[in-house]
Amino acid sequence: MSGEELAYIQDALQSNWIAPLGPHVNHFEKEIAEYVGVKGAVAVSSGTAAIHLALHVINVTKGDLVFCSSLTFVASANPILYRGAEPVFIDADPETWNMSTSALADALAEAAHVGRLPKAVIVVHLYGQVANMSEICSLCDQYGVPVIEDAAESLGSTYEQRHSGSMGLFGVYSFNGNKIITTSGGGMLVSHDQQALEKALYLATQAKDPTEYYQHRELGYNYRMSNLLAAVGRSQLKVLKERVHARRAVFQRYVEQLGDIAGFIFTKELENTRSNRWLTTLRVDHSKTAFRVDVIRRTLVAHNIEARPVWKPLHLQPMFSGVKYYPHEKGMDVSQHLFQTGICLPSGSNLSLRDQMRIVQCIKETISFEKIAF
């Protein structure tokens, strides 16, 4: 917490605005829009809800195709199914771990050839690292396909001096409890298209017509953020710059302590980008070392240090069995390889130097033991 949440919450309580509307909601939307450099924003109950609204606004419906990053959390793709559409998964780039532009180019070219272009492309900025938006947007513009940026993990990250989430038709942020700033649960839909945002706001408030009585012409959703949570979000936004600085410092210390270990490869930033380093991630090149990434992770967990595998790619998930998938290159499934060799290390904004050095020491001791055993 930033330390100012209680003051904002008390203000919301004293004003008696606790419902999913109110002054803090309006201010939070305005402040996020100004921070990321877009014309407007709609505060909602989750990042997933924001993606769902974006797909609805552009009229994604049953039988439509939507291209989506495969190396991501399932929430990026679930809204595609909510709309009755069909996901098509795109592989990751081996350097950035984000959507492969070569795989996307292949997928779009084939879709155009058969006369079935996607209604949208959902690009995920994974672990805080911004995707290659210049090439991705150029490809999508070539075919007239709108881009939705899933920037749930990358608030505070930039690409060529532009904020993640501000380059596509829509950008999506998450304020879940694990994000760089939090409202405990919540999300935000942002865009330069004010008319599209007005439609999203209408849908998010049960699609109620502007009449004196309750009238509804179409299906809507109960997706608005409460004034209490928006109050928390406003206090959190004030320390976002500090959070990004803290996360980047955590990443840099890991690189300094572990970067010279053979086989350890930390994710790089694209040129002219700045990642918020929401999570420090790395992969272990098993061809260059005797130890394996799963041994490191299990050892950390055994020492009460939480470490996680990289997201299991969506094209490998049982619920998406049989869904079409475009690899980075023929015979090269980058997403699967990263899942098998990657690890997420503790990266909290409040991770102390002492705790981080304990993590580093545990990793070094594990590697030394594995080398001896090998």
Q: Which residues pair with 256 in a beta bridge?
A: none
DSSP 3-state of 334: helix
Contact 36/166 with Cβ under 8 angstroms? yes
Torsion of CA 299, 300, 306, 307, to 10 degrees: -80
Give the burial class of 289: count Cβ atoms within 10 A of its Cβ; 0-12 exposed, 13-18 middle, 19 or more buried. middle
List Cβ neighbours of 165 (8 Å cut-off, separation of 6 or more): 36, 38, 125, 149, 151, 154, 155, 171, 172, 173, 190
Q: Is residue 55 packed enough to be buried (19+ CB in 10 Å), middle (13-18) or exposed (0-12)?
A: buried
Q: Cα(first)–Cα(last) distance of the chain, in Å?
A: 45
Can you tell me the distance from the alpha carbon of 179 to that of 168, in angstroms, rounded to the nearest whole number?
Answer: 21
Q: Is 364 a catalytic residue?
A: no
CA dist 263 and 47 (Å) reads 35
C-alpha 243: how far from chain center = 16
Q: What is the rounded distance in angstroms from the CA atom of residue 285 to the CA atom of residue 327?
A: 20
Q: CA-CA distance, 365 to 353, in Å (whole number)?
A: 18
Find the catalytic residue in 39, 62, 119, 179.
Answer: 179
Residue 231's identity, in one-letter code, is A
Catalytic residue positions?
A: 179
